[in-house]
Amino acid sequence: MTDQVATPVEAGQSGTSAVTLAGVQKRFNAGRGKTLQALKDIGVDIAEGEFVAIIGPSGCGKSTVLRLLAGLEEPSEGQVEIFGSEPKQLAKKHQLGVAFQEHALLPWSSVYSNIALPFRVSGRKVDADRVNSLIELVGLKGFENSRPKQLSGGMRQRVAIARALALNPALLLLDEPFGALDAVTRRKMNSELARIWAQERITTVLVTHDVDEALILADRVVVMTGRPGTIHHIENVDLPRPRDTTVTRTEKFHAMVDTLTAMLDAPTPFETA
């Protein structure tokens, strides 16, 4: 396996690039005239319909990459494009789906109303068929009228993902969506997300600390170094889908977990300088 640093990586099998980050640097004002460099020379292409996971040590800038893609931050240098346009353009068109670790559901609203919220925010008529199909897709049929407090943590995250999919987004961004769940529920949610992605086939970028989760879900796994975050390696996950226990118990899967975990545990050039 060869480390891939700073240069864009070719898009996946479809050949159509959905997301491009080229020479991206991100610096923040640290006060007293000092700056903090969060990202350095990030370059990667993501194909349309591809699922890419980003892993790396805490503070390496994984979530900053997601914020750049969401148009919530702008690069200090370099270029970020989604289908040839700035991320903010995608957000303005309501073609961006986002789900974070904190589900941020409206506590007074039902499952149905929470999933329908993007229609109302965008000024569109609620598509009842779409909302109901998403409720069924995420396995919550029968819970349409339930409030978030009546649901388990995993069920609330299913609502959050369904809401993110409501307007058929061109890009789905997931920032540790299952990080607060227990291990058993998290494994179940990984299976659910894999099933949902297989049906919707939306270009997806997932940030996670969990190497197993990244390998279960992604077509490629981007490994970042510690701050300033750079791309240390990109792993092509050539494992058959669905990646159930028959796959995750194989020697090949465990070897990939060990390899990527060792990369995360290795000291970065910044730490050894």
199-221 pLDDT, tens digit per residue, is: 889 999 999 999 999 999 999 99
Task: Tell me which CATH code domain 49-66+85-272 carries.
Answer: 3.40.50.300
CA distance 1 to 252: 14
Q: Which residues contact 176 (CB under 8 A, 6 or more apart)?
A: 100, 101, 207, 208, 209
Q: What is the DSSP string of 5-57?
A: -SSPPPP-TT--EEEEEEEEEEEEEEETTEEEEEEEEEEEEEETT-EEEEE-S
Q: What is the pLDDT of residue 25?
A: 92
Contact in structure between 37 and 29 (CB atoms under 8 Å): no
% residues pLDDT > 70 (the chain) = 92
Bridge partners, residue 21, by sequence:
44, 80
Give the Cβ contact number of residue 129 at 10 Å: 8
pLDDT band for 271, please (50, 70, 90 cuts).
very low
pLDDT band for 13, please (50, 70, 90 cuts).
very low
* pLDDT(230) > 60: yes
**Mean pLDDT, the chain, integer:** 87
More confident residue, 53 or 188: 53
pLDDT band for 242, please (50, 70, 90 cuts).
confident
* pLDDT(41) > 70: yes
* pLDDT(9) > 70: no
DSSP 3-state of 2: coil
pLDDT band for 182, please (50, 70, 90 cuts).
confident
Peptide bond into 228 cis (omega under 30): yes
Q: What is the pLDDT of residue 55?
A: 95
Between strands 17-31 and 231-236, the pairing is: unpaired
Contact in structure between 3 and 232 (CB atoms under 8 Å): yes
pTM attached to this predicted model: 0.87
Cα–Cα separations (whole angstroms), residue 175 to 69, 162, 204? 12, 15, 11
* pLDDT(148) > 90: yes
Give the Cβ contact number of residue 155 at 10 Å: 20
Domain boundaries along the sequence of the chain: 49-66+85-272
Q: What is the pLDDT of residue 267?
A: 66
**Tokens standing for residue 46:** 């993501």
Peptide bond into 242 cis (omega under 30): yes
| Mean pLDDT, residues 133-156 taken together | 93
pLDDT tens readout for residues 243-270: 888 999 999 999 999 999 999 887 655 4
Between strands 17-31 and 77-82, the pairing is: antiparallel
pLDDT band for 12, please (50, 70, 90 cuts).
very low
Q: What is the pLDDT of residue 26?
A: 93
Cα–Cα separations (whole angstroms), residue 21 to 24, 178, 266? 6, 26, 25
Give the Cβ contact number of residue 254 at 10 Å: 13
CA distance 227 to 204: 24
DSSP 3-state of 231: strand
* pLDDT(128) > 70: yes
Q: What is the pLDDT of residue 102?
A: 73
